[in-house]
Amino acid sequence: MNHDLILHALEQCFALNRGNSKVLVVGLGKTGLSVAYYLRQLGLQFAIVDSRDKPSFNDDLLAEMPDIPVFTGGFDHAAFEVATHIIVSPGVSMDEPMIKQALAQGVRALSDIDLFACSVDVPVVAITGSNGKSTVTTMLGAMAKAEGKCVAVGGNLGTPALDLLDEAVEVYILELSSFQLERTTQLKAVAATVLNVSADHLDRYVDIEAYARQKQKVFTGEGVALINVDDPYVLAMSESGRKTLTFGLNHQADYSVLELPEGDYLAFRGRAILAVSALKVVGAHNQANALAALALGSVIGLSEEAMCTALRHYKGLKHRMQLVADINGVQWVNDSKATNVGACIAALQGFKKSNVVLIAGGDCKGADMQELVPIVTEKVKALLLIGKDGGLIKQVMQDAIAIYDAGSLKKAVKKAVKIAEPGDTVLLSPACASLDQFTNYQERGKVFASQVQALVK
């Protein structure tokens, strides 16, 4: 779309224009930087504010846009006073007092996803959920490429949505977080899904129901809603009269797993599509992810042949059930991306017996660790705890299995070497965020991998 059409859409939706609008971008991370570049392209007036003294992209912005006002070291009251619109980055809570005050005074809020939605005229697929959204997003992207489509993949995963915009793109596939969705009103995807809902980000939401309500906003519009019938929170989001597809492992669904004498198959309404054994990613949760990708791909017209070709070659994401090494019959698996309880549970469900040495802990973000007890008791032979909230996990387990307070990831790996026997799996699946000890979950995964790889040297 050309800039005139985009500006017309922004005027219609948000009364945002070049003449008298002053946009304040709150937060100068990856998303904030992408917003700044895009507002500059559109010729809109804007300034930036960040609570940090030196935001990560401050130097980049100042080098390319030295004339743009940037306020750092706190949320400057004067910057909010002159704003007519605010775009708050996902990492900043909408409950910040200065933001709440601005909204109460009539300042209009929009998001980078709103800007994106007003700028595209080709199909958009939107994917959210507590777990699996990055896997399904990249799976679907691989399917579209196998079909020969010019596809752009990003959003919460990898490239910010606004940086994906390109006239050549035929379909956009966006991973979206609850933080992005809570401040977005204009995205109307042709296909959308909430893959699942489990306790996460309860440091930002009052309860899991409030968190689920933000996830549900992905279904704004009239596109096809893909519903996980195995998840009660998602199932409750079904709307009568809405065009819907369903997927699930344990219930009747449009896309399900079919048990045949020769093995299990991914299936559509009872018709086998692809043998589960053909998948390179393991675990029941990845079968569910593949079913979701197949369903979404069908909505945007991808052939089953192309989708199955992509699934046969899909090897998964780094830090998500990633095999690091097989040492003396012990598999070491990096699932550092399991930053919440639901992700850890999903990982453990892929194991058939009690042969897992689990490394868990970190920042639990207010989640209830009690949910781990049944699956850990069933699947785990020894639990090694790390991070600031490791003690909370120990407290709920009540000595149901062998538990060791390792403290650091390095010490946990050393202890796991002594415990694990041939046939066991040492699994880093923390069920917690990483920010108490690491920059992010990627760094945590890299540290684990480097410690494991050092064992074979």
In angstroms, the first-to-last Cα distance of the chain is 55
Q: Phi first, then psi: what are they for 25, rounded to 5°?
A: -90, 120
Alpha-helical segments (H) within 15-160: 30-42, 58-64, 77-82, 97-104, 112-117, 133-146
Active site residues: 133, 156, 201
d(CA 35, CA 60): 14
Residues whose CB is less than 8 angstroms from the CB of residue 329 and which lie 6 or more positions away in sequence, other chains included: 421, 422, 423, 424
Neighbours of 40 (CB within 10 A): 15
Amino acid at 406: A
> What DSSP string describes 318-379?
TTSSEEEEEETTEEEEE-TT--SHHHHHHHHTT--SS-EEEEE-SB-TT--GGGGHHHHHHH
Helix, strand, coil tally for the chain in percent (to 5):
40, 20, 40
Which structure tokens are listed for 307?
A: 């989708």
